[in-house]
Amino acid sequence: MAVVSVNILHNGWSATEDIGTKTTFTVVYLVEVDDKNDGALIVMDADDGTSRIPRQFETYAVGNDSDPFAFVKSKSPTPIDDKFWHVSVTFGPNEPAGEENGGPIGGLDEDLNPTDNPLREVIDVSVTVVNATRAAERGAYIGQIDLPIGNIDVNDDGYFSTEGFRPGSTGVEQANGDNLGRIVNGVPITNSVYTPFDPPPEIAYNQIRITAGMNCDQYPGRLGELVNSVNGQRVNLDVGEFRGWHFGFTEDFPPYTLRFMGFNTQRRFKNGVAYWRIEIEYLADLLFGWRLDILDRGYCVNSNETVSEGAPSKNNILDVTGNQISEPVLLDGQGKMLDLETHAATYLRYAVYPEIDFRAAGISNFHGLKMEFTNNG
């Protein structure tokens, strides 16, 4: 019982490329044995001392061809006669198996080598842009369009004027943004008597979702306490150094713009190893951040008197007829009517999510995943 020879059949050598996704290869080997009772198990791993059938997890390297991301996926032996076999070997990228198998049959370690130990597999990192909407309370006032009766073409520049109702200025040429895409010459969006629209108009914008998935030997117990927390300092998020392997994603986030959304975990068992599959998620809002800014407006002003617990008493704001106003007016943050000669608006800022040091809280480093947060001031 022995293998006589292993040779590649060139007329059985082929490849299939799905554009933008993956490439699979098929190589057919001719195996000769010296005993007609030698079966499929022997020929699938045939080795004549010079040539052999590739083993599980080996990469595609045939002749002058090679692909380090194509691995042995299947081997199919077919007898030709008593002592000759064709062995068809298929190579392709590692892909997840069904949930019943706990994910990938074999992953890649930090050196990009195949591994059947799930705890040695590198992490998965995903960065996507997601759509969001919110109330539009600030914008750069450009000007006004005065249409005569019967004209509905709001795009006709002949009816556009930069004569604005804003305190001390006319319209601006364009909205100017900072390096995060935020408008720096914005003013409150109101009607021409400074009354905010109710309901306010909505705008569409984008946030950034960052997810990382990894296999860990322990359950990340403390992460549950940190869901919905926000970075309290400016940080540089370097996602994906895993046992020395760097994924190349790095992004700078000002304070209060990066929110820890949470995590999903599953207990799994694969190739004799019990582990936890953990996926964590961050959501970044670089345009508005995660603090809440509310335009200060109302129907009352503070009086000079105080009531219980030191809170000031309130006086209704009256119109020219002596009746209480029916629409809110802009306030100055101190309970007084806003001086429109000196200020365009006052916003009241609230922190509505816990603001923490991600490094000290343990979000940045657990069970082999290293997410570096470097304070930048």
Q: Give the start-to-end residue ranges of the domains of the chain.
A: 3-93, 297-344
* CA 79 – CA 75 distance, rounded (Å): 13
Is residue 377's pLDDT more than 50?
Answer: no
Per-residue pLDDT, averaged over 33-44, amounts to 90
User: Confidence class of residue 108 from pLDDT cuts 50, 70 and 90?
Assistant: low
Q: Which residues pair with 148 in a beta bridge?
A: none
Per-residue pLDDT, averaged over 98-127, amounts to 61
How confident is the model at residue 103, as a pLDDT?
40
Amino acid of residue 288: F
How confident is the model at residue 99, as a pLDDT?
39
How confident is the model at residue 31, as a pLDDT?
93
Q: Residues near 174 by Cβ (< 8 Å), separated by ≥ 6? A: 140, 142
Nearest to 32 by CA among 70, 71, 1, 10: 1
How confident is the model at residue 106, as a pLDDT?
53
Q: Residues near 319 by Cβ (< 8 Å), separated by ≥ 6? A: 325, 326
Per-residue pLDDT, averaged over 19-27, amounts to 79
Most confident of the ranges 80-84, 235-239, 247-251, 272-276: 80-84
* CA 350 – CA 346 distance, rounded (Å): 13
Per-residue pLDDT, averaged over 234-253, amounts to 62
Pairing mode, strands 235-242 and 369-373? antiparallel
- Tokens representing residue 158 in the block: 């002949």
Nearest to 335 by CA among 293, 289, 296, 282: 296
* Percent of the chain surpassing pLDDT 70: 73
Is residue 87's pLDDT more than 80?
Answer: yes
* CA 171 – CA 144 distance, rounded (Å): 8
pTM (whole model) above 0.75: no
Residue whose pair of structure tokens reads 């970075």 in the numeric block: 231
- Tokens representing residue 253 in the block: 């986030």
Is residue 138's pLDDT more than 70?
Answer: yes
Per-residue pLDDT, averaged over 170-186, amounts to 68
Identify the helix (H) or strand (E) that includes residue 29.
strand 22-33
* CA 226 – CA 87 distance, rounded (Å): 54
Q: Which residue has the higher pLDDT, 178 or 197?
A: 197
Residue environment code for 244-268, b if the CB has 16+ CB neighbours within 10 A, otherwise e: eeebeeebebbbbbbbbeebeeeeb
